[in-house]
Structure 1
């Protein structure tokens, strides 16, 4: 196999591994949320919203907590914009040879794979797409966090029928979902960045990242409800 053909084999396989893992994770979150960190956090956020809305004195604590989330999402979205600007500069710079035309290769013998300038532009564009996607997702996370900050302070006696702790918890979880998706966009940009150095580092990064994400996403200690915990305690005592 010629080295230029490695990009046609290793890159699609690496992307399929990443996408397949996230499809499986999405299925597990929907079917068995208590066995995933994302599912457990979503359940706990709803419980936290109920605790905050049950006592009006918790309003300041709730707003401060949401403010921290907004500040973190704002920082990450700013980083995404800065990364996008840097990539655009590199794509239009003569230092990488993209604006000079021609079909000469870059990197000499360092890059083991297809080293044409056309493919280099595709690599930079893929990283740029991930950065812009991360920016949009974190911006949506800020939006839903702002909505949560308003709704969570509505007094119980003045609540409309639709403004319940469950409803506010769903709004907060949507913001958290966008937060998680923004991080996933960053995660996808890592293998694409290593693709600049060849398909082999990109493929290895996909495999290692899926292995690490599995231990970050899956919980070995599922959350039990009070009834389930009581039943388990009764079985142990019996």
Structure 2
């Protein structure tokens, strides 16, 4: 397989993922009700509002948020392990490119570019998931306050914002993990990258579309 073909397949793989995300942002601006992320963000807000009207719901709220926090923690751990593996994978290529004082772009191959993109995606997943843990943690403190207390009334709007942010960050962390698959496929066999990217986009399309019952 020629270097040109490898570069072209790699660029198509990344382009498919980027075009889909750009199209999703456009749909979210024009009609957010069509997207699951917007509907689920509203669901979390209404959930907290409903619990805030029910006495004795503090324990239920904390348990629910604890489950979400643990899910985000597992995603962050997975991304961290993947990032360490990707760094180990990319180290030989980086060392070869920088050996003997050579310029980095002298031996900048498509494989090395994909490895760097893979590390970036995994790092983004780690950051998003870790921040989701942070917001879920703070929302848990707010939800555990007695429903009728002045402190709960004062902090509830902040809790709504934190829940929205936590959910969105958690979803972004998961999305970045899914994007690892086509990148790895392209590293192993460049021509498999575009096919894997299309499969991932089709899967994401099913998850992103919101169809009310």
* TM-score > 0.5, shorter chain as reference: yes
Q: Residues 20 and 99 (structure 1 numbering): CA distance in 2 closer, same or farther, change over 3 Å?
A: closer
Q: 1:40 and 2:31 equivalent?
A: no
In the comparison of the two structures, how many residue pairs are matched?
205
Q: Which residue of 1 aligns with 2:155?
A: 163
Q: Which residue of 2 aligns with 1:67?
A: 66
Farther off after superposition, 21-30 or 192-201: 21-30
In structure 1, the gaps of 5 or more residues are 103-115, 223-238
Q: Residues 162 and 87 (structure 1 numbering): CA distance in 2 closer, same or farther, change over 3 Å?
A: same
Residues 16 and 194 of structure 2 are in contact (CA less than 8 Å); yes or no, is this contact kept in structure 1? no
1:87-107 residue CA offsets vs partner (Å, 9 max, x unmatched):
2233346xxx765679xxxxx
**Secondary structure of the structure 2 residue equivalent to 1:199:** coil
> Cα distance, 1:128 vs. partner?
1.8
For 1:196 and 1:150, how far apart are their aligned partners in 2?
Answer: 44
1:150-189 residue CA offsets vs partner (Å, 9 max, x unmatched):
222344440477534x542221010011101111211222
In structure 2, the gaps of 5 or more residues are 99-106
Root mean square deviation of aligned Cα: 2.6
Q: Which residue of 1 aligns with 2:102?
A: none
Q: Which residue of 2 aligns with 1:87?
A: 86
For 1:44 and 1:176, how far apart are their aligned partners in 2?
Answer: 10
Using the size of structure 1 for normalisation, the TM-score is: 0.75
> Cα distance, 1:117 vs. partner?
8.1
Quick one: which of 88, 91, 114 aligns to 1:123?
A: 114
> Cα distance, 1:10 vs. partner?
2.9
Farther off after superposition, 54-63 or 7-16: 7-16
Residues 35 and 221 of structure 1 are in contact (CA less than 8 Å); yes or no, is this contact kept in structure 2? no
